Amino acid sequence: MDFIKNMTESRFFDEYFEKKYLHADIMAKSWFSNLTKKIDFDHILTSQYLSQNRIQVIQNGINISPSEYFKFLTMSNGSVQESADILKVISLYDKGCTVLLPSLQNLCNEVRLICIKLENIFQVKIRASAYLSPPNSIGFLPHYDGHDILVYQIDGKKSWILESSEQDLPLSGNFEPDKGKRLLDCELSKGQLLYVPRGVTHTVSTTGGHSIHITFSIAPWRISDIIPKISTIMFENFFNTDSIFRESILSYNKNEDQIIQDITDKTIQVFESMKDREVIEEIVKEFYFRQRMDRISSNSGILNSLKSISCIKNNMTWTFVEDSNFKLISKESTFVIHFKSKYIELDNSLYGTLLLIMNKKKGVIKDFLSVVDSDIVTTSSIHNFLKILVKNSIILVSQC
């Protein structure tokens, strides 16, 4: 946790994770602190179509009807596009409503990069939501979540009251929790962070001034979620390989107790057959890698990035994901990008391009074309190489 003052990863996970809240300052000049300088909410709100899954307006725990702030636009091809009417959104904000931008990582590249870094720390899905609150306002009423959250105060101040709840590590949230023991009453100031474990009731409000904060939701990877999914796979495997598990439960000439006994015996047989550790481990591995790839694709913004490069242009920008986890291995005429679960072997002519990406960190795609030998590396091969890097979370691309 190099972005939190006086905190190491081992200490955070040993003392705080899923145990107790943490109210702390962000390290100056850390990769996290840059958010306060780089996010332009005016640009986010006015430069793109915001559908109902991209913007919400709430007040005192009530979601304002989208009909009060949405409009429908007829596009040049005749299709109809819904989009938030920002003037109406601002009007509702002035009346005390909080503006919520869920899935902020899909709207802002800087936030997307932070999500990637946090995913590499927590090894689970990370989503980001922004809350823009006017003075003297309440968005959601007291509640607790079924996931942990990291709250980063971008601007202004916000009051937080944390209370214990009746549920330890809940599987889902609760918007009508019982009154609990007061744990914390604090004001979160610009540049500060608050970690709230799932199951901790929180009441949030502004007083004399406005507030902008980003909530990073840490979607837990729980045994209670994993076992049913793994069990389904195992049951299918056993049912498909052993006919004894596909036999009918015969009720002919049997009373109710005998039928129940037969079903119980067959069920015990199934579970007894599921004790092969090697089989279970292989299924767990497969499930883990599925979860890992789902995390990378859906929450790192990679799918959006792939859409951008389906018609790649040289004026697009690229950003190197510094926490991307891979090793480079040089061979005679090729080089290998080695990940934990797979590797990609590529021609050595592209090695220089990757080194340029790793050293420069950010730039425009046309930069590559001015430094490579066009007789050896074509524009098409550069574009295809970039697609590979995007698919494997090594870079992100976007329009200028």
pLDDT digits (tens, 9 = 90+) for 238-247: 777 777 777 7
Give CA torsion, residues 270, 275, 277, 282, to 10 deg: 10
Checking if the pLDDT of 362 tops 90, the result is no
Contact assessment for residue 283 and residue 230, using Cβ atoms and an 8 Å cutoff: yes
Contact assessment for residue 119 and residue 294, using Cβ atoms and an 8 Å cutoff: no
CA 239 to chain centroid? 35
Count the residues in the chain: 400
User: CA–CA distance from 88 to each of 85, 139, 212 (Å)?
Assistant: 5, 18, 19
Checking if the pLDDT of 350 tops 60, the result is yes
Averaged pLDDT, 232-241: 75
For position 135, what pLDDT does the model report? 94
State the pLDDT confidence band at 300, using cuts at 50, 70 and 90: very low
State the pLDDT confidence band at 294, using cuts at 50, 70 and 90: low
For position 226, what pLDDT does the model report? 78
State the pLDDT confidence band at 341, using cuts at 50, 70 and 90: low
Q: Which amino acid is at 56?
A: Q
For position 365, what pLDDT does the model report? 83
Averaged pLDDT, 260-266: 86
- Looking at every residue in the chain, the average pLDDT score rounds to 82
Contact assessment for residue 222 and residue 215, using Cβ atoms and an 8 Å cutoff: no
User: CA–CA distance from 375 to each of 21, 63, 228, 371 (Å)?
Assistant: 58, 59, 55, 12
The beta strands (E) that lie in the chain are given as 22-25, 56-59, 62-63, 70-74, 80-84, 98-101, 126-133, 148-163, 182-189, 192-196, 201-205, 211-218, 317-320, 327-330, 334-338, 343-347, 362-364, 395-398
Averaged pLDDT, 126-138: 94
pLDDT 10s digits, 321-332: 877 778 888 777
For position 205, what pLDDT does the model report? 95
The beta strands (E) that lie in 34-110 are given as 56-59, 62-63, 70-74, 80-84, 98-101
User: CA–CA distance from 135 to each of 97, 264, 319 (Å)?
Assistant: 10, 62, 36
Percentage of the residues of the chain whose pLDDT score is greater than 70? 89
Task: Give this prediction's pTM.
Answer: 0.69
User: CA–CA distance from 1 to each of 11, 25, 233 (Å)?
Assistant: 9, 12, 36
Checking if the pLDDT of 252 tops 70, the result is yes
Averaged pLDDT, 166-184: 90
Checking if the pLDDT of 297 tops 50, the result is no
For position 301, what pLDDT does the model report? 42
Averaged pLDDT, 42-56: 84
pLDDT 10s digits, 88-117: 999 999 999 999 999 898 888 888 888 888
> For residues 382 and 318, what is the distance between their CA atoms, to the nearest angstrom?
13
Averaged pLDDT, 174-200: 93
